Amino acid sequence: MSTHILGISAFYHDSAACLVKDGKILAAAQEERFTRKKHDYRFPKNAIDYCLSEAGITASQLDHVAFYDKPLLKFDRLLETYLSYAPSGFRSFLKAMPLWLRQKLHHPREIDKGLEKQYKGRYIFLGHHESHAASAFFPSPFEEAAILTLDGVGEWATSSMGVGRGNRMELTHELRFPHSVGLLYSAFTYFTGFRVNSGEYKLMGLAPYGDPIYTDLIIDKLMDLKEDGSFRLDMSYFNYCQGLTMTSPKMDGLFGGAPRVAETPITQREMDIAASIQKVTEEIVMRTARHLAKTTGMKNLVMAGGVALNCVSNGKVLRDGCFENVWIQPAAGDAGGALGAAMFVWHHLLDNERKLPEGEQDFQQGSYLGPKFSNDEIKKYLEKVGAKYHYYETEEELLDVVSGHINNEKVVGNFHGRMEFGPRALGGRSIIGDARSIEMQSVMNLKIKFRESFRPFAPCVLREHAHKYFQVRENEDAPYMLTVAPVLDEHRTEESMEGKTGLDRLKVNRSSIPAVTHVDYSARVQTIDEQRHGRYYRLIKAFYEKSGSPIIINTSFNIRGEPIVGKPEDAYKCFLATNMDVLVLENCVLVKDEQPTIDKNEVEKYLSQFDLD
């Protein structure tokens, strides 16, 4: 008899479901990909239905259902925080209350409803950071590892530390609300005019344009940072305990005025703040990692929690050498809690053996854990909408055509295989192009994604060639695009950054692969190997054989504010609405110029449905 465990995360942001069958992750997906509402926090009904269909079961056949946090403890934090700031937090308290009373305090009832009352067992509620920690350790390739989780906040914990061994894990230390590296970063995300819980990437991307002139000020004034990476924040500068904003007016005095208003021009101040808070974050993470290495004596580190998506600080930890190996859960944010909760039940609670299957490099399966679609389904859809497409019977023929398009500097939407679990597109739902192209970064940002011009793109590189371009070890594995590495000197161009400030730095031709080289010569590398990436590996190889370059540019298949495409239909609509040249849907290839006239109204309708993120 098989054991099926469903993990759920929901009701905050990035709801998700994961199904583990006898220890194998059978399916995992975020609700937003189905509902087309970014960061959808509602009960993940669609994601659960998908997971059940992948296993061929109904909810009545589930053996265990685990939830990624403890709602009552969260409520306890809310009340206690309110009481300690009362009466000043009354407005935010009032704003939060209705949803708590209606839904969040009644998780078993809400989950029962979501599962249509078919599941008869009890629900297992794990600690928020327990779920993050489990998502970091259990899918990792390591027999034993130190565990570090960092995020905004769970119930009370904002960071936790511990050790995983075999099929068990133990968390030994934690940092508690309101002292939080995630909330500190989010406070500056807010202050620089980006949206909290989604604009953190933008702040990270903006950092290399600035100078970290506020670093000491942040460390001296806003916090008391200890050698072991723990800290206390001076809460008089923040407002997130009692108010509806992240920072208090006292913060404005330190940084020369009020927070930037969203969508207004970004000035040098925001760039310098971005650079400074990035440096402070790296300092906190580095101190914590070094302390953890020293106290646990472990060679391996695993990480999860939203802050573990900061690939710049991850890169620093990796290259610092305090740990020999680092593995980070690709769905490091709260969506990944669903996966962690299910894995925790199988290993830690049910005491089942944890053994890497033959030929696998970790338990995460490249994070290709979502839905896939057959050629027949795709052809049927394309015929229904009257799209013109070429169907290639063999992979060889297909890859020859698609790599040719990339070599001709075409922007290609690549939809193939299972959808990725986690915020990064890893080749399954990606927009790709030639990384050597000088125009590519701005074309992709402005004409394809309709987003800010400063945002960097990531390279996908054949793993065996990565060390020839980036400062990584030979055959270093970075399949989940979670660490940055510097571009090697020999690939940097002569043209200097000197005298260039702010966004002007973007105009400097930085390297032989400018489309994926950030202004500080860093790149968020994804290494591609044949075992994990199959056809995607062979596509880049075909491009390499034509062009001599083993690197392509990769970005998620979506426009600004849109969740990454889930179905062929989403991909086709996105293709029509943007300046993308070519769309690959499994073995079908669509060329933009060959498409029948595109209905402008339809395009407008499509574009207007996504809020700016």
The least CB distance from residue 334 to Fe ion, in Å, is: 5
Stretch that binds Fe ion, among 151-159, 368-376, 377-385, 393-401 (CB under 5 A): 151-159
d(CA 150, CA 601): 44
Residue 562 is a binding residue for Fe ion (CB under 5 A):
no
Long-range contacts made by residues 251-257, C-beta under 8 angstroms, separation at least 24?
251/187, 251/191, 254/214, 254/217, 254/221, 254/222, 255/191, 255/214
Residue in the block written with tokens 């600004």 = 560
Q: Which is nearer to Fe ion, 340 or 413 (CB)?
A: 340
| Of residues 183 and 411, the one with the C-beta less far from Fe ion | 183
Site for Fe ion in 434-493 (CB under 5 A): none
Q: 308 with 328: CB under 8 angstroms?
A: yes
Number of residues that bind Fe ion (CB under 5 A): 2
Through-space distance between the first and last CA atoms of the chain, rounded to whole angstroms: 45
Q: Smaller CB distance to Fe ion: residue 17 or 503?
A: 17
- Distance in angstroms (rounded) separating the CA atoms of residues 533 and 540: 10
In the complex, minimum distance from the CB of residue 131 to Fe ion, in angstroms, rounded to a whole number: 8
Report the C-alpha gap between 435 and 554 in whole angstroms: 9
Mark the segment that binds Fe ion (CB under 5 A) among 32-40, 150-158, 341-349, 588-596.
150-158
Return the number of the residue (140 or 441) whose C-beta is nearest Fe ion: 140
**Distance of closest approach, residue 307 Cβ to Fe ion, in angstroms:** 9
Nearer to Fe ion, 154 or 433 (CB): 154
Three-class secondary structure assignment of 571-610: HHHHHHHCCCCEEEECCEEEEHHHCCCCCHHHHHHHHHCC
Q: Which two tokens stand for residue 301?
A: 């580190």
User: Are the C-beta atoms of residues 311 and 285 closer than 8 Å to each other?
Assistant: no
What's the closest the beta carbon of residue 127 comes to Fe ion, in angstroms? 11
Give the residue with the Cβ less far from Fe ion, 150 or 585.
150
The least distance separating Fe ion from the CB of residue 188, rounded to whole angstroms, comes to: 18
**Smallest gap from residue 129 Cβ to Fe ion (A):** 7
* Selected range binding Fe ion among 43-51, 73-81, 148-156, 166-174, rule: CB under 5 A: 148-156
Nearer to Fe ion, 200 or 570 (CB): 200
Of 593, 613, 590, nearest to 413 (Cα)? 590
Q: Per-residue x/- mask for Fe ion, residues 171 to 190, rule CB under 5 A?
A: --------------------
Pairing relation of β-strands 582-585 and 412-415?
parallel
| Bridge partners for 301 per DSSP | 146, 326
Residue 550 amino acid letter: P
Q: Which of 149, 157, 156 is nearest to 132 (CA)?
A: 149
Q: What residues contact residue 496 under an 8 Å CB cut-off, 6+ apart? A: 508
Asked whether position 581 contacts Fe ion by CB under 5 A, the answer is: no
Q: Which positions ≥6 away from 323 have C-beta within 8 Å? A: 146, 289, 293, 298, 299, 300, 301, 317
Q: With contacts defined by CB under 5 A, name the span among 48-56, 96-104, 143-151, 478-486 that binds Fe ion.
A: 143-151
Query: At a CB cut-off of 8 Å and minimum separation 6, what does 567 contact?
Result: 371, 373
Smallest gap from residue 333 Cβ to Fe ion (A): 7
Q: Are 513 and 491 in contact (CB under 8 A)?
A: yes
Residue (32 or 334) nearer to Fe ion, CB:
334
SS3 assignment, position 509: coil
* Min separation Cβ 152 and Fe ion, Å: 6
User: Smallest distance, Å, CB 329 to Fe ion?
Assistant: 11
Per DSSP, the three-state class of 172 is strand
Span of 65-73, 147-155, 186-194, 204-212 interacting with Fe ion by CB under 5 A:
147-155
Q: What is the DSSP letter of 36?
A: -
Using the contact rule CB under 5 A, the part of the chain among 21-29, 149-157, 259-267, 441-449 near Fe ion is 149-157
Complex with Fe ion: residue 114 or 340, whichever CB lies closer = 340
Cβ closest to Fe ion, residue 151 vs residue 520? 151
Give the chain's length. Answer: 613
The CB-nearest residue to Fe ion is 151
- If the CB atoms of residues 338 and 435 are measured against Fe ion, the closer one turns out to be 338
Beta carbon nearer to Fe ion, 335 or 590 = 335
Q: Which is nearer to Fe ion, 13 or 416 (CB)?
A: 13
Contacts of Fe ion in 323-382 (CB under 5 A) = 334
Q: Is 151 a binder of Fe ion (CB under 5 A)?
A: yes
What is the closest distance, in whole angstroms, from the C-beta atom of residue 14 to Fe ion in the complex? 9
Token pair in block for residue 8: 């759920």
From the list 367, 374, 362, the residue with the least C-alpha distance to 419 is 367
Helix count and strand count (H, E) for the chain = 21, 22
Q: How far is the CB of 245 from Fe ion (least distance, A)?
A: 21
Inter-residue contact 66 to 6 (CB < 8 Å): yes
Q: Which of 414, 384, 381, 410 is nearest to 398 (CA)?
A: 414
Stretch that binds Fe ion, among 67-75, 146-154, 323-331, 601-609 (CB under 5 A): 146-154
Q: How far is the CB of 9 from Fe ion (least distance, A)?
A: 9
Cα distance between residue 18 and residue 27, in whole Å? 6
CB 223 within 8 A of CB 232: yes
Stretches 63-71, 145-153, 450-458, 579-587: which one binds Fe ion (CB under 5 A)? 145-153
**HSE-up of 536 (CA within 13 Å, CB side)?**
33
Nearer residue to Fe ion within complex by CB, 148 or 293: 148
In the complex with Fe ion, the residue whose CB is nearer, 151 or 586, is 151
- Enumerate binding residues for Fe ion (CB under 5 A): 151, 334
